[in-house]
Amino acid sequence: MSNGWNESAAAWIADMGEHGDFTREFVTDRPVLQRIEGRGHRNALDVGCGEGRFCRMLRERGIDAIGLDPTEDMLAEARRRDPEGDYRQGRAEALLFADDMFDLVVSYLSLIDITDATAAIHEMARVLRPGGSLVIVNLNSFTTAGAWDDPPLKSRFVIRDYLDERAEWVEWRGIRIQNWHRPLSSYMKPLIAAGLILRHFDEPDTNGGPADRRARYRSIPYCHVMEWEKPA
């Protein structure tokens, strides 16, 4: 069964542009880069790289980055924009890389798209070099469990069935994809079981953009940023 990414690739690429959507540009990019810049990372794996935007940002900072994604149209766009980059087709649940290969592994809003997130987390930990960092950006589980009231109110955000893992279809601006809701513990438990150590956790505020969008994003816990270290 399709999760919508093949059918939505063109609309996604158009929507992201060069700077990404509001969330990436004005909420998560800055705190993620603060966890990466000046840390001496030599190489990185971007799991679920899409059209390659964050890979390009890593390469601009001197980090030798490989982008991985299952959607060929996304990879084709990444290669078009970054002909010298390294973009490969593959799935997070079965990474075709050796153990302890990368200083940095990044999952930037990709875990919500992966059916077996536990397998993906263990694979990302496996290919991470001891002393290296796994940086995860994800939608907050309260966000994925809820929705704004049906029109015309739109005045309350209602959380339902938080503990029930489920795949749900989401649609906006020609994009229709399947996202997973999971309680936060469904991510934390496999990260801890993989032997990783939590070094940073943040629910970042907005840092720019239109005032109405900033107010909406501050009304619910929308995203979180985590950095996990593989013990040396």
Task: Write out pLDDT tens, residues 177-204.
Answer: 999 999 999 999 999 999 999 999 999 9
Amino acid in the structure at residue 120:
A
Q: Cα–Cα distance between 74 and 72 in angstroms, integer? A: 5
* Mean pLDDT value of segment 47-57: 97
* Mean pLDDT value of segment 28-45: 97
Q: Model confidence over 125-182: pLDDT tens digits?
A: 999 999 999 999 999 999 999 988 876 666 788 999 999 999 999 999 999 999 999 9
Q: Indicate the domain borders of the chain.
A: 5-140+183-229
Peptide bond into 152 cis (omega under 30): yes
pLDDT at residue 217 is higher than 90: no
Question: What is the model's pLDDT at position 152?
Answer: 63
Token pair 């513990």 in the structure block, residue = 185
The single-letter DSSP state of residue 79 is H
- From 47-51, 107-111, 210-214, the region with the lowest mean pLDDT: 210-214
What HEC string does 109-174 produce?
Answer: CCHHHCCCHHHHHHHHHHHEEEEEEEEEEEECHHHHCEEECCCCCCCCEEECCCCCCEEEEEEECC
Q: Say what the pTM is.
A: 0.95
Q: What is the mean pLDDT of the chain?
A: 95
Strand pairing class (146-148; 157-159): antiparallel
Question: What is the model's pLDDT at position 219?
Answer: 84
Q: Cα–Cα distance between 187 and 110 in angstroms, integer? A: 12
What CATH fold (topology level) applies to the domain 5-140+183-229?
Answer: Rossmann fold (3.40.50)
Is the four-CA dihedral 87, 89, 91, 95 of positive or negative sign?
A: negative
pLDDT at residue 218 is higher than 90: no
